[in-house]
Chains A and B, each alone.
Chain A
């Protein structure tokens, strides 16, 4: 089992390194207008630790471990749900009302 995991190590490293490049690449052209929502959205995405918290709590043995796991779940759920909702609320304000004249929304990149 352990040998297998070690062999897999290089696969995990590959995923990690490629993800680093993807992470930088996808946001490299963001305009400063969107820095705050982007930070907030990225913040929500790491709320996925909720999945990890569920996995460890579901196999927890003993009361202490169970309680710690449940605390982790509560914290992670706050991060995930709150993060996505607050980002949506922010972004709503950018799109709620069209500007009055015919000039439709610009792409915002250098506006």
Chain B
């Protein structure tokens, strides 16, 4: 490899470090992302300049097809569906890494190579396949193509353990006597492990799994880089693997959970609360006019936005409502739970899209003391993040997750489509409290009526 190529790769590796650094600060995030993109393009252009590659036309064609597909997906995806899009992009990356490793294995079958190359290749095949299949299942869960509730069947722990064991055995086989057949079997086994890994994970925890699979893909790319003796792949993959693992732990911490509990909690069983059925216990409901009066004469209002708000596309109307309330002299803030939406930080993206001023978004730790002074808390399309079961009911799937103390407010108004439980599938005691009022209906529709009622007061 010529020196200049190695220097370009070094520059690209540095650019990826700067990209991650930039992405972790709000002011530098966009620049960081662009630096990363530029480095990726440069790194991919390099082999065409110094190697005499075959099939250049076909390769470029495939690059164009893939780029067009990715660009189309990135352009049309709704902000509410961002998490599953990220999952999908991650999955195809893992799949690509596994295929690259299989092709490398083909060379290794023919000529003798060091043991570590075979170990890295086997690792990439298995983990890349896990990432691919796992991401497809997370996509299906988030897109609600399948139940978002944990899927557990009696033999699942045995099937999972057996697959892991078989993967280890086949990996040893590949390393000692590499053949394509075992390599392909290893890939198929990886797919099975990926499916079995994600099936028992409940919908609300899926984002953590996406982050974990993202880290897995990073590590497979790093291993692939070692096999190809390519520094930029090794560095970029390792960076993502390390940062992704760290990010996964951060997110799990924000939910008050351990990663092991998220992955394997459902296997232990015991959660009877996740029945996911609507209760017919009595609740107090009111029309938009009544809620408008409550809001219009409140001095301190806290909005708790959730995923349902964004699905109903009601965030723009909500912003108008808040503007009107502020004009009338009320003190209004949005309380943002770290995992509001379908992913940590997702709600910030969705409200930023509706041009809600940044300083009205208050994070949980800062606003939790204010709830007891709030006249009205308006919960729009959120449920699990204000569910007191997280504090009071050991054994609930969300037990231990820090929640917004909406239950301490003088009045709580829930805007809900139905009595259906939240994404975690458990009933919310707060709905049945005497100071809770429910406003049923589509969030956008109700919000519009609420806005015009408040305006007419």
Contacts and interface: CB of A to CB of B under 8 A. Distances in A.
B103 A39 contact: no
Contact of B234 (A15, A68, A103, A111): A15
Interface string A38-56: 1111111111111111111
Contacts of A21: 242
Given A45-B16, A52-B228, A59 B89 contact: no
Interface string A48-74: 111111111111100001101111111
B96 A79 contact: yes
Given A56-B103, A86-B89, A46 B66 contact: no
A88 to B, nearest CB: 6
Interface in B97-137: 97, 99-100, 102-104, 106, 112-114, 116-117
A82 B211 contact: no
A107 to B, nearest CB: 7
Contact of A2 (B36, B66, B114): B114
A32 B353 contact: no
B41 to A, nearest CB: 9
Contact of A94 (B26, B112, B214): B26
A44 B89 contact: yes
Given A32-B254, A45-B240, A99-B357, A51 B24 contact: no
Given A39-B210, A49-B93, A80-B70, A27 B99 contact: no
Contacts of A6: 114, 116
Interface in B313-333: none
Contact of A89 (B74, B90, B93): B74
Interface residues of B, number: 116
Contacts of A23: 20, 238-243, 246
Interface string A11-24: 01001100111111
A97 B70 contact: no
B27 A77 contact: no
Contacts of B114: 2, 5-6, 9
A84 to B, nearest CB: 4
B44 interface: yes
Contacts of B165: none
A19 to B, nearest CB: 4
A38 to B, nearest CB: 5
Given A45-B239, A46-B217, A50-B63, A75 B99 contact: yes
Interface stretch (B47-55, B155-163, B293-301, B421-429): B47-55
Interface residues of A, number: 90
A88 B33 contact: yes
A83 B161 CA distance: 33
A32 B345 contact: yes
Contact of B23 (A41, A60, A80): A41
Nearest to A107: B26
B51 A93 contact: no
B119 to A, nearest CB: 11
A67 B32 CA distance: 34
B366 A54 contact: no
A99 B355 CA distance: 8
A59 B48 CA distance: 12
Contact of B246 (A28, A40, A95): A28
A91 B44 contact: no
Given A30-B24, A51-B233, A99-B358, A69 B99 contact: yes
A44 to B, nearest CB: 6
B54 A59 contact: yes
Contacts of B48: 54
Contacts of B24: 26-27, 29-30, 34, 38
28 contacts: A6-B116, A19-B222, A26-B21, A27-B20, A33-B348, A37-B33, A38-B20, A42-B239, A43-B214, A45-B20, A46-B90, A47-B89, A51-B232, A52-B228, A53-B96, A54-B63, A56-B228, A70-B59, A73-B59, A74-B62, A76-B93, A77-B66, A83-B70, A85-B75, A86-B77, A93-B349, A94-B358, A107-B27
Given A52-B224, A73-B63, 19 more contacts: A24-B243, A32-B338, A33-B363, A34-B25, A34-B26, A34-B345, A36-B349, A38-B23, A38-B247, A39-B86, A41-B19, A46-B221, A46-B240, A47-B89, A49-B221, A69-B103, A77-B65, A86-B85, A93-B79
* Closest A-B pairs by Cβ, 5 of them: A77-B66, A82-B70, A23-B242, A58-B53, A79-B93
